[in-house]
Amino acid sequence: MQNEQRIDAQDNELIQIVDAAVAEAARLSGAWLVCRLGCTQCCIGPFPINQLDARRLRRGLAELAVRDAERAQRVKERARQSVARLRPDFPGDPATGLLAETEKDEERFSNFANDEPCPALDPETGACDLYASRPITCRTFGPPVRFGSDSVGVCELCYDGASDAEIAACEVEIERGDLEPKLLEELHGDTIVAFCLAVE
């Protein structure tokens, strides 16, 4: 129990660091950043999430179930339906939802289920039902943010007409130190949102 609380506290610290940096990138970007409620392009197609993201999502779903049981049930049902569709071609262990780590499987994943919506996405409102608990990838997608030497990517819908120099002027580096890597030493294996949320 103490270990769980420590992990959650350190994850909260990580999220504060990430969110503050992304807010600064959004401030610098101004009108170039067009992300808004209902823009769901980045919510289509699964992507790998680590076990820290998965813990956060499951905790968020449990909290949603207390506040709005029907909404939480809809998220779970979308996750179950998604897993049923994805399981036959899943590039990993379809029993556990863990992604395989071979180069061949990573290549398979790059073309895997690109039209599958995230089960946390409410198809009627275009809102994320687990927004406060979303993975790091979701938090950082859109503005130009960098983790160390990682390359910077921006949403193709944003920065329309911006030069490389204008985009670079909005860039922010997220300095998470060794916080996330240390936590991930204890939490192994990547999965996807659907498998994470379909677990009872």
Give the per-residue pLDDT at 135: 96
Whether residue 177 has pLDDT greater than 80: no
Taking the C-alpha atoms of residue 1 and residue 7, their distance in angstroms, rounded to an integer, is 10
Q: What is the DSSP-derived secondary structure letter of residue 92?
A: B
**Average pLDDT of the chain?**
91
Instruction: Determine what percent of the chain is predicted with pLDDT higher than 70.
Output: 98
Taking the C-alpha atoms of residue 120 and residue 131, their distance in angstroms, rounded to an integer, is 8
Domain boundaries, the chain: 6-198
Give the per-residue pLDDT at 179: 74
Instruction: Determine what percent of the chain is predicted with pLDDT higher than 90.
Output: 69
Mean pLDDT (whole number) for 7-12: 87
CB of 197 closer than 8 Å to CB of 55: no
Listed in order, strand segments (DSSP E) in the chain are 145-146, 172-173
Give the per-residue pLDDT at 151: 67
pLDDT tier at 88, thresholds 50, 70, 90: very high
Q: Which pTM value belongs to this model?
A: 0.91
Q: Give the number of other CB atoms < 10 A from CB of residue 47.
A: 15
What are the CA-CA distances from residue 116 to residues 13, 110, 112, 179, 191 (Å)? 31, 13, 9, 31, 15
End-to-end CA distance of the chain: 20
Helix (H) or strand (E) holding 137: helix 136-140
φ, ψ for residue 21, nearest 5 deg: -65, -45
Q: Give the number of other CB atoms < 10 A from CB of residue 3.
A: 8
Whether residue 65 has pLDDT greater than 90: yes
CB of 97 closer than 8 Å to CB of 199: yes
pLDDT tier at 186, thresholds 50, 70, 90: confident
In one letter, which amino acid is 178?
A: D
pLDDT tier at 118, thresholds 50, 70, 90: very high
Tokens for 123, please give them: 């198809």
